[in-house]
Amino acid sequence: MMDLTTTFLGLKLRNPLIASASPLTGSLESIKKLEDNGIAAVIMHSLFEEEINHEIRQIDHFLQLHSNSNPEALTYLPNEVEFDNLHSEHYLEEIRKVKEAVDIPIIASLNGVSAGGWIKYAQKLQEAGADALELNITYIPTSMEMEGHMVEQMYIDTVAQVKEHISIPLNVKMNAYFSNPANMAKRFVEAGADGLSLFDNPTRADVDIELLTSLQRANITTSANLSETLRWCAILYQKLPCSLCANTGIHSAEDVLKAIMSGADAAAFTSVLLMKGEEEVSVILNNINDWMEKHEYVSITQMKGSISLAHTDNPSAYERNSYRYALQHYR
Ligand SMILES: Cc1cc2nc3c(=O)[nH]c(=O)nc-3n(C[C@H](O)[C@H](O)[C@H](O)COP(=O)(O)O)c2cc1C
């Protein structure tokens, strides 16, 4: 009997397949279908900083109105912003409902950029029953005065503050565009990340030439987008006390196997589910089983990190040589 189990964020998973955040994971019906088809864990669609802050501002506005009409009312203002009975409550209610309906781990998702008051909401997600929390920080700096280290520090501060508010495991969904992703991975873990997703996939910048406006589109990937995921799983395997989740470009059993061999503990995907539906999970699982049987693997653990750079004396030289070889031996 094949052992497909793996451990991610300290959670024991029945296999390495995770549904990453998307509109699919905002629907209880889809989450149930994903579970029925064998998914091991689900990352819910994100709750955005802007949504929480909008509500904080609305409360402020409301309290200010009252305080203006009666200055003494100021003494009755709560010190802490109360989030209850607001729109974001729906997200908490979703977590509670999903947790009741399924047995697999449910990972909540917060999406924001700044170390501000909204971060307290992380605690609410934990209280609602989330088994872990994923944090997606996506910031596109446009100021030429903002130096790289300032952007990096903003990311690190946000992770550290979120960590202060929760005791459940924290997964940081990284992007691949830091000068040195390995250094950022290390600093995320030092700031409190228990796991890293490599990597988030940015939206696509586009232009609508009829409306004369720029726009961004959610990016549907293919297996060709797996490259950076594999590269960095292989580089970071066994380098940090955290789990690694391959994320972006996972479309097939082969992609999952490549990610595990590179050093990933789990593989998360969205595009393939949006294109082919929840049933694709069982197709991928069956194909993983078949491949392992054919190649006489008995467990995921056995193949984990087997082609990583963990035992390479000089990984940078190895990467440089492979790069040179690929260009010079093109046929
Ligand atoms: C339509 C759509 C919606 C998404 N929504 C979210 C989201 O709410 N939060 C988030 O962190 N990532 C979101 N993502 C990113 C996915 O979780 C995933 O990281 C990305 O699509 C790369 O994985 P893939 O190659 O399997 O598609 C979204 C992606 C798509 C295509």
pLDDT value of position 83: 54
CA distance 255 to 292: 13
| Region label for 10, one of left (φ > 0), alpha (ψ between -120 and 50) or beta (otherwise) | left
Report, as an integer, the average pLDDT of 129-149: 96
pLDDT tens, position by position, 194-252? 999 999 998 999 999 999 999 999 999 999 999 999 999 999 999 999 999 999 999 99
* pLDDT tier for residue 30 given thresholds of 50, 70 and 90: very high
Neighbour-count burial of 154, counting CB atoms closer than 10 A to its CB (0-12 exposed, 13-18 middle, 19+ buried): middle
**Torsion angle (degrees, nearest 10) of CA 5, 8, 274, 204:** -150
Six-digit token string for 182: 């390995």
* pLDDT value, residue 162: 96
Query: Integer distance in angstroms from the first to the last C-alpha of the chain?
Result: 42
In this prediction, residue 124 carries a pLDDT of: 95
Cα separation of 188 and 186, whole Å? 5
Q: Which of 269, 238, 243, 244 shows the shortest CA–CA distance to 256?
A: 269
Query: Of 227, 229, 226, nearest to 263 (Cα)?
Result: 229
Domains and CATH numbers, the chain: 6-328 (3.20.20.70)
Q: Is the pLDDT of residue 75 over 50?
A: no
31 vs 70 pLDDT, higher one: 31
| Alpha-carbon Rg for the chain in angstroms | 22
- 111 pocket-lining for ligand 1 (C-beta < 6 Å): yes
Q: What pLDDT shows up at residue 87?
A: 67
CA distances from 89 to 4, 79, 183, 308 (A): 36, 20, 36, 43
**Do strands 47-48 and 17-19 pair parallel, antiparallel, or not at all (unpaired)?**
unpaired
176 C-alpha to center of ligand 1: Å?
Answer: 15
Given a cut of 80, whether residue 33 has pLDDT beyond it is: yes
Atom of ligand 1 nearest to the CA of 43: 17
Closest residue by CA, ligand 1 atom 26? 269
20 CA to middle of ligand 1, Å?
A: 6
For residue 113, what are its two tokens?
């950029």
Q: What is the pLDDT of residue 78?
A: 43
Q: How remote is the CA of residue 19 from the centroid of ligand 1, in Å? A: 10
What tens digit of pLDDT does each residue of 154-176 get? 999 999 999 999 999 999 999 99
- Can you tell me which atom of ligand 1 is nearest the CA of 173? 11
Q: Is 178 left (phi over 0), alpha (psi -120 to 50) or beta?
A: beta
Ligand 1 atom closest to the Cα of residue 249 is 25
Is a pLDDT exceeding 50 seen at residue 142?
yes
76 pLDDT band, cuts 50/70/90, is very low
Q: pLDDT digits over 265-317, tens only?
A: 999 999 999 999 999 999 999 999 999 999 999 999 999 999 999 888 899 99
Q: Calculate mean pLDDT across residues 105-121.
A: 91
Counting residues of the chain whose pLDDT is more than 70, the rounded percentage is: 90
Q: Is the CB of 173 under 6 A from ligand 1?
A: yes
Determine whether the shortest distance from the Cβ of 21 to ligand 1 is under 6 A. yes
pTM exceeds 0.85, yes or no: yes
Atom of ligand 1 nearest to the CA of 26: 8
With a 6 Å cutoff on the Cβ, whether 304 touches ligand 1 is no
Find the 80 Cα to ligand 1 centroid distance in Å: 33
